[in-house]
Structures are given as structure tokens and as C-alpha cells.
Amino acid sequence: MATKNAIEDVAHNEKSRLSGEMQSLGKICNIEHKMCSNSGESSNGGLDPEPPSIPKRRQELLKWNGWGYKDSKFFVNKDGHVEFTGERYRISGSTMPGLRDWMTKTIGISLDQKTPSQPEISAANIPLPVKNESFVADLRKTSISNSDDCQDRLFRAHGHTLHEIFLLREGKFDRIPDLVIWPASHDEVVKVVELACKHNVVVIPFGGGTSVSNALECPLEEKRMIVSLDTSQMNRILWVDEKNMTMRAECGIIGQDLERKLAERGLCTGHEPDSMEFSSLGGWVATRASGMKKNIYGNIEDLLVHVKMVTPRGVMEKNCQVPRMSCGPDIHHFILGSEGTLGVVTEVTLKVRPLPPCKKYGSIVFPDFECGVKCMREVAKQRCAPASIRLMDNEQFQFGHALKVESKSILTNFLDGLKKLYITKLKGFDPMKLAVATLLFEGTKEEVAAKEKRVYEIAAMFRGIPGGADNGERGYMLTFVIAYLRDIAFDYYVVAESFETSVPWDRCLDLCQNVKERLHRECKDNGIQFPPYITCRVTQTYDSGACVYFYFAFNYRGISNPVHLYEHIETCGREEILANGGSISHHHGVGKIRKQWLRKTIGDIGLGTLQAVKQYIDPNNIFGNNNLMIGQNFGGVVQQEAANVLLPSKL
Ligand SMILES: Cc1cc2nc3c(=O)[nH]c(=O)nc-3n(C[C@H](O)[C@H](O)[C@H](O)COP(=O)(O)OP(=O)(O)OC[C@H]3O[C@@H](n4cnc5c(N)ncnc54)[C@H](O)[C@@H]3O)c2cc1C
């Protein structure tokens, strides 16, 4: 009984956490909490009456031209302070007194120089659909839901790269999907793919639409009808098997729904990418996603036990669900990272774990970034990394500080002052150099206590001092709102984007420094008049290296082609990354924007092998989104997709 109560407490806390951090307040799950039986597979989800958090008509809840929920955004209020709207997040309804100054001083924003988004892209500016009449006629004989409404089509024409969101705000799309189809099951996907093959129609799978690689963009040159296969209505947990600690769900379930539903059973997958509010299970598999807590739970490839993919050749899957097999190259690895080029991932079995009974945040302040990286390397070496450990450089620390919400508590302000005094005066840390690591520990109380002790001991070896749980918690909470910041930046002539890489430990520091220097140099050489904002953090640690994540933004007043220039400089940044031993991507994938480096990355033979697989599975290029380098232009020169255009007034 005691154990059951403890599990229920943990489940309750987890539900509250997910709710508090990012859940629509009105939609907190109200299904009665039921513990699973231990009798092997137990069905549930199919009967689950709860609708998904994101409606089928996404535009009803989400912004059409920016990140996230319509009701949640940063804006400058009548007092001239930046405020965050809505009620969904902890910072909702709060002002951030330091942010306006940060925006003006660091990046040269002027509050009276605005570039508002166009109010909408009207039907007149949306391309007419290409129609394959016989396909449509055959589709209509089924009961599979579909729509050729302009806004439904537009919503599925893009992900969230700078290029795509800028187009929504200031341009128009020359090619978008011609029809949106919402299959409700694996069998309906099989039917759609059969029809697409029969009538030579292109299929682009759409999960949560959070892609940051232009993977969802329609190839401009594609003359065939393009169907966006939206998986959002395939959102059930099909079963949970507590004997083997696995669960199977349909591909369209999004992260927040999956974790919340599992939490009701005292379970979790632990896969938490920063986009988990909106990204889908199928999307994670298709992009080889990585979650912030991968140190305990693993990346998506470590969590994956079984996957079904519907291809033009038929359904690709293994015949058993075992922890490991020695049966030649693992076919899951053709599916993981296939980016919608080979088929539709329909059902996925992942490992699950009991919800950790104890979660604790923490932070460490280092005198500089180098000490921080050395500490992270040692933590990885000793294999004692907490669920998450992230190291911010000084620029990001300053920014985090600017994002602090107004506190009316004298005690909080007093304690903050004391901490600052201690760190800068007594410890002698230079506020313009220090770096901060945020930590999240998970496990039993004893495990957490033991790990905390070890991590803080290692930190001390590198002059790191504990910075408190509040700072750590705030850091993680901010990951869910940080994506909203780009929208306010757009409003004031700023273009911004993030990009990431993985790198061996011995090159990590050099890479961070050289990439920053290169970006600064390119900004200067390209006539950017205001100081750019360039910052990085080390977000994931491995035995042999780390993931590094950059933010890069600049104020483009006086520049006529900001997106083009941004892409040029980002390309230089990527060249620098590669020259410093980094990779083309750690988890964002290749899509279209990183295709140009794929051949160099995997070599001619590697690429030829991928192309041969594509040729076998999908000879007519039905999954013709042209991601990776395995579409129709086999071996051809890869051009950057010039898809879609800016309105003449904005050129
Ligand atoms: C703010 C923000 C934070 C992010 N943080 C992270 C992070 O922490 N970790 C991380 O790994 N990524 C992150 N990303 C990138 C993105 O969320 C991931 O790539 C995610 O896995 C995409 O999932 P999705 O469901 O949104 O897929 P979509 O964007 O809909 O699609 C991405 C690609 O996968 C294909 N696809 C989607 N579903 C299927 C399917 N069922 N079958 C076959 N192909 C499919 C699409 O055709 C497309 O090529 C972030 C993105 C943003 C904007």
C-alpha cells in the first residue's frame, strides 16, 4: 500500500509538473488514475476518450506565423517593459524588467523601429492546388479525412526555420501541399500510400511541424500532386506492457500527451526534447531526436524497441520485440533519421521506466566557460552525469539574467544580492566571464543525493560553486519559452536561429571559440551594423564528446536581404564547425538545409548505399520531399532549395 501511495504521489507530481510547465491550464487530464495490472500487455489508449492537446485544425490554437500557442507571446507593454502573455507557463503574466535594456544594449534594437508581420497570407496569395483527379476520386471512396482548405494546406507547408517563419511573416509560398489527409490508423496509412503509388502522388508525412531543417518544405520543382499526411489523429497509446516495461503508441501522439498519459500510470519514457509540447513520436523517430534527459533514458534510438513503417514496397518491421538481435545491419537504422523519405512511421514501441520518485534541480557557477567544459568532461568520464547537465556561456548567462521575472519579494531580491556578492566579491568571479551549468537530477532520493554529492565534488575541482536549485529550475523552465522570443525579435528587425553539432571532447572548446569568432568576423565583413548576439551551450554529454548548441541573431536594420545573409553566415559557421571536427548535426537532422554536407559526412559509398535503399523501397519517389540526398536527384549537384518568395515590398 505504501508503495502504491508513493507511486501515486510521484504520478501526481509528474502530472502537475507537466501541467505547470507547459500544459494548457484548462486541459489537465481528468481521466481517473488507474494503475496498470502486471499481467503483461494491457490495452487502454484505444478507449481513451481524451482528445489530443493540439486540435486537428491547428490554426485554432497555434500561431500561424510563429512559435507555439496564440495566447502566449512576449510583447512590450504600455510601461515599456517586456511582458509574457497568457496563463500556460510560469512566466505568463509576468514582466521581465531587464529584458528591454538587454535588447537595446546587446543587439541594438530600437523600440520605435518595428517590422510587424503581414496580418495573414490570404487565399489569393496561396497557390492553387495541383489536383490528381483519379487519386482524389479513389480517396473519396474511403472514409479517410482530408481537406484542401488553403489554411490547412499552408499550416503544413513549413516547419520552424528562420527562412520559413520569415516567409510567413513577410512573403508567400509558391509551393505548398495540395491536400491534407488525416489517417486515423496504420491501416488507413497503408491505404493512402497504396493510392499514392497507384496514382503517382507525392506524400510528405507531417508530425508536429517543429522541423528546423526545411524538411517539410515542398520541393518547388515538384509538378505532381503533393499530399501532406498529417499523423495527428493517430494519437493513441495502444498498449502498455509492465512486464517488459514497454509501450506502443501511434506515431502522431505528441510529447506532452504521451508523457502525461504515461504519468497517470506511474511511468514515463523520459524523452523530453525542448519541442515536446508539439513534436510527435513519429517525428522523433524520423529525425533521430534527442531529449534533454538522455543521460538516464537515452536518445530516441536507445529507447526504440520496435517500429512499423509503411513504404511503397510494403510494411517494414521486425517480427519480434526483443532487446537486441544479431541479424545483420539493424533495419531500424534505415528508419531512424529517414526524414519522411522512405515511408510513414505508424506505430512505435518504446521502453518505459517508472517515474523517478525524486527530482532535484541544481546549478553550478564557474569562473569561466573553460572550467565548465572541463567539469562536464570529467562528469562524463566518471559516468555520473545527472539526467540533464547543460553549460551556458557568459552571453547566455547574461541573457538568462535579463529574462528574470520581476520579483516583489524583498527576501528573494535580498538573497539574489547576497549570492551575487558572494560569487563576485568573495570568490572573485568576473560577471563578464562566468559560466553556469544547470542540472536536473532524477532517481530515488538516495541516488539523487549520491549523484549530487559527486557532481558538486567534481565541480569544485574546476572552481565551480553551487548556484542554487532556483537557477537550475528557471533554466529548464525557460527552454519551453525561449522559442517564443524569436517572434518578438522579428518584430524589431532581428533575425535569429539556433544550430547545433556534436564534437569530440578534445575539440569542444576550440570549436565553440572558433565558431563564435568566425560568426563575428562574417557579420563585420558583411556590413551588419549592430553587434550580433552569438552564444553557445553544451547540452548533452557522452563518453567521447558533447553536443554544442549555438544561438545566433543580428539586427538587420540597413540590410535588404537579411534571411539570405543569415543563411550565408550560418553556412560559414557550419564550415567552421566541420573544420573543427564537429558534425553536420547532433539532432536537428539534415532536411534540405544541411544536404550540401551529407556526401562529405558519410562518404560516396555511404551515400550510394542510402540511395540504393531509397531506390529499392521507393523507386518512383512517392516520398519525394527531397530531404537528405536520396530523392530523385541521385548523386546530382545539390542546390539550396530556393523555394518560395518574399513579397516585392520586402526585398
Ligand atoms: C523550439 C524547438 C526546440 C527543439 N528542440 C529539440 C530537441 O530538444 N531535440 C530534438 O531532437 N529536436 C528538437 N527540435 C527539432 C524538432 O522538434 C525535432 O526534429 C522533432 O523530432 C520533429 O518532430 P515533429 O513531429 O515536429 O516532426 P515534423 O516537423 O512534422 O517532421 C520532421 C520530419 O520528419 C518527417 N516525419 C514526421 N512524422 C513522420 C512519420 N510519422 N513518419 C515518417 N516521417 C515523419 C517529416 O516528413 C519531416 O521530414 C526542436 C525544434 C524547435 C522548433
Question: Which residues have C-beta within 8 Å of that of residue 571, sequence separation ≥ 6?
Answer: none
Q: Which of 211, 231, 288 to mutate to test the pocket of ligand 1 (most atoms within 8 A of CB)?
A: 211
Q: In a mutational test of the pocket of ligand 1, which residue from 226, 274, 540 has the highest number of ligand atoms less than 8 Å from its CB?
A: 274
Query: Cβ(446)–Cβ(377) under 8 Å?
Result: no
How far from the centroid of its chain's Cα atoms is residue 345's Cα? Answer: 18
Residue nearest to atom 11 of ligand 1 (CA): 289
Q: What is the DSSP string of 73-109?
A: -EEE-TTS-EEE-SSSSTTTT-EETTHHHHHHHHH--
H or E segment and range at residue 345: strand 344-351
549 given a catalytic annotation: yes
Positions of the chain with pLDDT lower than 70, given as ranges: 1-49, 408-422, 425-426, 631-651
Q: What is the pLDDT of residue 423?
A: 72
Return the closest-CA partner of residue 251 out of 323, 175, 338, 164.
338
Q: For residue 287, how far is its CA from the centre of ligand 1 (angstroms)?
A: 6
Which grid coordinates belong to 456? 558538486
CA of 283 to the centre of ligand 1 (A): 5
The model's pTM: 0.92
How far apart CA 646 and CA 92 sit, in angstroms, is 33
Identify which of 210, 297, 335 to mutate to test ligand 1's pocket (most ligand atoms within 8 A of the CB).
Answer: 210
Position 539 scores a pLDDT of: 96
Q: What single-letter DSSP state applies at residue 113?
A: -
Which sign, positive or negative, has the C-alpha torsion 392, 394, 396, 397?
Answer: positive
Residue 648 DSSP symbol: G
Give the separation between CA 322 and CA 244, rounded to whole angstroms.
Answer: 10
Give one DSSP letter per residue of 254-289, joined into a string. Answer: BHHHHHHHHHTTTEE-----TTTTT-BHHHHHHHT-
How many angstroms is it from 255 CA to the middle of ligand 1? 11
Name which residue sits closest to atom 37 of ligand 1, judged by CA.
283
Q: How far is the CA of 252 from the centre of ligand 1 (A)?
A: 11
Q: Which residues are annotated as a binding site for FAD?
A: 205-211, 287-290, 339-345
Protein residues whose CB sits closer than 6 Å to any atom of ligand 1: 159-160, 204-212, 215-216, 231, 251, 273-275, 279-280, 282-284, 286-287, 289-290, 339-340, 344-345, 483, 587-589, 625, 627
Q: What is the pLDDT of residue 416?
A: 67
Ligand 1 centroid–CA 340 distance in Å is 11
Annotated binding-site residues for substrate read: 486
Catalytic residue chosen out of the listed positions 484, 549, 551, 566: 549
Protein residue whose Cα sits closest to atom 3 of ligand 1: 275
What is the SS3 string spanning 115-157?
Answer: CCCCCCCCHHHCCCCCCCHHHHHHHHCCCCEEECCHHHHHHCC
Cα(190) to ligand 1 centroid in Å equals 22
Report the C-alpha gap between 404 and 475 in whole angstroms. 10
